């Protein structure tokens, strides 16, 4: 009985940890060049952060992206 409870606890912990990691994965959306013009503070000077990553990132392709965790995208856009 005790071994079964320990096994179930380990599975529950793994599922919860996996769900937490899944909700913190980054999701990046391209920012249109027209939208960059309307930033009141130039995007290069923005220091916004979402949990562990910078929100505005310039990728290798030369475009700007808005990156947030899946959790932030779900609840706060």
Backbone angles phi and psi of 60, in degrees to 5: -65, -25
C-alpha span between 61 and 30 (Å, rounded): 11
User: Does residue 77 register a pLDDT over 70?
Assistant: no
3-state secondary structure of 49: strand
DSSP labels, 31-68: PPHHHHHT-SS-GGG---EETTEESEEE-TTS-EEEEE
Q: What is the pTM of this model?
A: 0.76
Cβ atoms of 19 and 65 within 8 Å: the answer is no
| Stretch 23-48: mean pLDDT | 93
| Stretch 26-39: mean pLDDT | 93
Q: What percent of the chain shows pLDDT beyond 70?
A: 99
- Tokens (6 digits) for 16: 């919860």
């Amino acid at each position: 009985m005790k071994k079964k409870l320990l096994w179930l606890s380990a599975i529950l912990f793994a599922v919860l940890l996996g769900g937490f990691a899944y909700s913190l994965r980054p999701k990046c959306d391209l920012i249109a060049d027209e939208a960059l013009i309307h930033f009141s503070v130039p995007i290069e000077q923005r220091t916004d952060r979402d949990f562990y990553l910078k929100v505005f990132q310039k990728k290798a392709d030369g475009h700007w992206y808005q990156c947030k965790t899946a959790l932030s995208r779900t609840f706060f856009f």
